[in-house]
């Protein structure tokens, strides 16, 4: 169990004290099953993306053995085609509850594995996880469309859903860059992955029409920045354009317009995107604004309805909400592995084809 001394690097004024950070890390770790699974909360489901995000938060807090057990769970229960199912009841691999296989869920293992390597320097772990990462990326790229965007998923019967989600494709973009970094570390270049990443970045930056229109969702606003596809002045302008639509001062970030509902996960991810663009002060303000979601015991409510019958809703304390907060705090606090993963440091650049720049 983490102590306040072990979580001093997660201290952030108005967000976490060392004792509060230790409490949150301990609460997150307590949800983990003995086999390494990290469901949303015990009795609910596990999805591979949020499982990985929670594992990354454990690494950011120095709980490397717990994080490694989470990645071992993924390696043990990967499907033969390189995928994972979209949901498992309570993280039980024998009880999948959604047999579709979502591309961004499957790709994210590469982000987690690279983050764990940067946190531990464990080359043996990278070698052990490489077949898992390779198979997952190959599955995902099997749904890449001619325009570069990534199809959403395969249904339970194997039917490809080729419609692309901007948020999902932006997450896949980050995952592909992490997968390429892992391949480089192993001295196993993957030129096809490089081409795929460049084509995806071009689609995200220049062709919104190639994605389903989900601009009511805040994730579609900031994820192209968080996923590293939109950078520099364009990233700053994109964040500024959506600010008044999605940010509720003092409460956090709306999940979807026009609903009067702020959510912790989206708020913390926006803070990460702000940090990426160099706006650490605004990132800190966002993280401070969602502390009303903190519950007794150190976990966080998923969201809060701030009009009408005001209430925390849904009534759940999710590992991924706590995980996103810990990762955002770790980035602002200068945690080396977390800053490298989200800033793009030590990740490949310049992959977009010359004809498309």
State if pTM tops 0.85: yes
pLDDT of 353 reads 54
Helix/strand/coil for 324? helix
Contact 298, 26 (CB under 8 A): yes
Q: Supply φ then ψ for residue 36, to 5 degrees.
A: 105, -10
pLDDT by position in tens, the chain (length 357): 677 777 888 999 999 999 999 999 999 999 999 999 999 999 999 999 999 999 999 999 999 999 999 999 999 999 999 999 999 999 999 999 999 999 999 999 999 999 999 999 999 999 999 999 999 999 999 999 999 999 999 999 999 999 999 999 999 999 999 999 999 999 999 999 999 999 999 999 999 999 999 999 999 999 999 999 999 999 999 999 999 999 999 999 999 999 999 999 999 999 999 999 999 999 999 999 999 999 999 999 999 999 999 999 999 999 999 999 999 999 999 999 999 999 998 898 767 654 454
Locate all alpha helices (DSSP H) within 232-279, ordered by sequence: 232-246, 264-276
Taking the C-alpha atoms of residue 211 and residue 256, their distance in angstroms, rounded to an integer, is 17
- What CATH number labels 6-341? 1.50.10.10
Q: Supply φ then ψ for residue 260, to 5 degrees.
A: -80, 65
pLDDT of 265 reads 98
Helix axes 64-76, 123-141, angle to 10 degrees: 40
Contact 116, 71 (CB under 8 A): yes
Pairing of strands 87-89, 45-46: antiparallel
Taking the C-alpha atoms of residue 34 and residue 230, their distance in angstroms, rounded to an integer, is 39
Taking the C-alpha atoms of residue 339 and residue 56, their distance in angstroms, rounded to an integer, is 12
Taking the C-alpha atoms of residue 309 and residue 202, their distance in angstroms, rounded to an integer, is 44
Taking the C-alpha atoms of residue 184 and residue 346, their distance in angstroms, rounded to an integer, is 10
Residue bearing tokens 């993957």: 190
Within 8 A by CB and 6+ apart from 197, the residues are 173, 176, 177, 180, 348, 351
Beta strands in 4-92 (DSSP E): 45-46, 87-89
pLDDT of 355 reads 46
SS (H, E, C) 159-208: CEEEEECHHHHHHHHHHHHHHHHHHHHCCCCCHHHHHHHHHHHHHHHHCH
Contact 327, 56 (CB under 8 A): yes
Q: Is the dihedral of CA 120, 125, 130, 136 positive or negative?
A: negative
Give the residue among 252, 234, 231 at the shortest CA–CA distance from 243. Answer: 252
Q: Output the six-digit token pair for 18.
A: 């060392």
Q: Output the six-digit token pair for 334.
A: 């200068």
Burial class (CB in 10 A: 0-12, 13-18, 19+), 236: middle
Q: Supply φ then ψ for residue 351, to 5 degrees.
A: -90, -15
């Amino acid at each position: 169990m983490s102590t306040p001394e072990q979580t001093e690097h997660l201290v952030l004024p108005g967000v976490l004290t060392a004792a509060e950070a230790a409490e949150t890390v301990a609460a997150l770790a307590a949800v983990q099953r003995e086999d390494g699974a990290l469901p949303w909360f015990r009795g609910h489901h596990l999805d591979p993306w949020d499982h990985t995000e929670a594992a990354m938060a454990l690494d950011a807090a120095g709980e490397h053995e717990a994080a490694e057990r989470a990645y071992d769970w993924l390696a043990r229960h990967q499907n033969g085609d390189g995928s994972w199912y979209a949901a498992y009841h309570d993280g039980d691999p024998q009880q999948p509850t959604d047999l579709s296989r979502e591309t961004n869920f499957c790709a994210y293992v590469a982000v987690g594995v690279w983050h764990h390597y940067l946190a531990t320097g464990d080359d043996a772990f990278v070698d052990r996880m490489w077949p898992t990462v390779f198979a997952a990326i190959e599955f995902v790229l099997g749904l890449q469309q001619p325009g570069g965007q990534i199809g959403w998923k395969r249904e339970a019967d194997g039917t490809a859903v080729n419609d692309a989600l901007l948020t999902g494709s932006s997450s896949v973009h980050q995952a592909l860059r992490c997968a390429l970094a892992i391949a480089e570390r192993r001295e196993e270049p993957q030129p096809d992955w490089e081409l795929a990443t460049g084509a995806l970045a071009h689609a995200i930056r220049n062709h919104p029409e190639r994605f389903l229109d989900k601009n009511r969702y805040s994730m579609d606003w900031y994820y192209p920045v968080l996923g590293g596809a939109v950078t520099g002045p364009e990233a700053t302008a994109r964040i500024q354009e959506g600010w008044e639509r999605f940010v509720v001062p003092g409460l956090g970030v709306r999940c979807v317009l026009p609903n009067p509902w702020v959510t912790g996960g989206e708020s913390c991810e926006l803070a990460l995107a702000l940090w990426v663009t160099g706006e650490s002060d605004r990132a800190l303000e966002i993280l401070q604004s969602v502390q009303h979601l903190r519950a007794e015991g150190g976990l966080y409510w998923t969201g809060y309805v701030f009009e009408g019958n005001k209430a925390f809703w849904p009534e759940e304390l999710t590992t991924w909400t706590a995980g996103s907060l810990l990762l955002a705090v770790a980035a602002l606090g200068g945690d080396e592995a977390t800053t490298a993963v989200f800033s793009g440091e030590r990740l490949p650049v310049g992959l977009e084809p010359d004809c498309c720049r």
